[in-house]
Every structure is written in C-alpha cells, then in structure tokens.
Amino acid sequence: MATREAFLAKVRQAQPAARPRPAVPLFAATGGAGGDLRARFTAALQVMGGTCVEVQAASEVASLIRERFGAAVSVASATAEVPGTRELTASTEPASLQDVDVGVVRARFGVAETGSVRFSEREYVVNALGYIVQHLVVLLDPAQLLNGLQDVYRRDDFRDARYAALVTGPSATADIEGVLIRGAQGVRSLTVVWLADNL
C-alpha cells in the first residue's frame, strides 16, 4: 500500500463513531425581528452598498439594465426570465465571462436580517458569474424572504446544494488604511430586483 493510502486508512480508522447532529433551536430574535421583512431586507442591503428596485414584469429588467449601465453593455443571464447578450450554459468556460458587464441571476431566497441573497451552483449555472462580472442584477421573489440566518439552515435547498453562497451587497474591502473600496475583488454593484417567480 502506498504511503498516501496507508495514511488515509489510519485517518479513517481513527474517526469517531457517527452521531446525529444536535437540534438547534430557533433563538429569540432581537433588533426589530419580524415586521416588514422586505423593508428590513432593503435597509440591511443598503447598509452594505446594495440597491433594491421594483419592476412589474421580467420584460422590464432589460430596460432597467440599459438605464443603469448603458445601452451597449454585455449581459450574461442565468435565468430564462431575462435574455442576455451572451449565451450562458453549464459548459460555458468561466474565463469567457471576464469581459461581461452585467450578470443576471435569480436568488433562491433572501434573508431580511442581513440583506443577503442565496445562490448555489443551480442558480449561477457557471459559478464565476457571481464574481467575475462588473455588476450583478439579482431577481428576488418577495415571498421568498426569510426572517434571519437561523431560518436558512432549516431549509432543505440550503443543505442539499453542493455549496451555498450568501451574498450581501457588492464586493468591498477596507484593508488598506481603513478606506472602504467597493468592487475591489468582485462585483462593483449589486442590484436586487423585486420580482415574483412565475416560472
């Protein structure tokens, strides 16, 4: 047996017996919990540099994108609700998105407590979409808002995904001299579009 396999075999033998995870209670929420989830989500997202807008139909999102980012922007859309100018499929090479201006994706749900939206490999289609484009436009059904982070861990779709990303606003850093810079390591802006999921 090779050294690597022998080492891994010893690690497996030394593992403790499996046991069920403890039940985690829902702790009493503080700081304005409950109430208008949409208003709380919007306020939390704004603190983190994101924006919320309202549209009446998915057909309005393309014109919203042109108004906010210009008529000639390239758009990669991970949802059939909004057409993109660039095709996006599971076989799209992630590096090919490096010159895309706007990514469009539908969030599975949002968290009012933090202003976060949740994505996984199912929503992004190509994982790089959420990080390599300049601007991210997120469709969010207001009926899919959760109160707090505790609620996230109770959802089957959170546990069943290969990974889950809770995204709160655009990329930001204040590492250098404490100066806040947005878009330094990822998307420069994040816009949440309130739009019911009719698919």
Single-letter amino acid code for the residue at 32 = G
Domain boundaries, the chain: 35-194
Assess whether pLDDT exceeds 80 at residue 198: no
Tokens of 94: 């992630």
Average pLDDT over residues 131-140: 95
CATH code of the region 35-194? 3.40.50.10420
Alpha helices in the chain (DSSP H): 3-13, 37-47, 61-69, 121-124, 129-132, 149-152, 156-160
Read off the pTM.
0.83
pLDDT tens digits, one per residue of 17-34: 888 877 777 766 555 566
pLDDT tens digits, one per residue of 102-112: 999 999 999 99
Tokens of 147: 């109160």
Which of these, 121, 111, 108, lies nearest to 152 by C-alpha position? 111
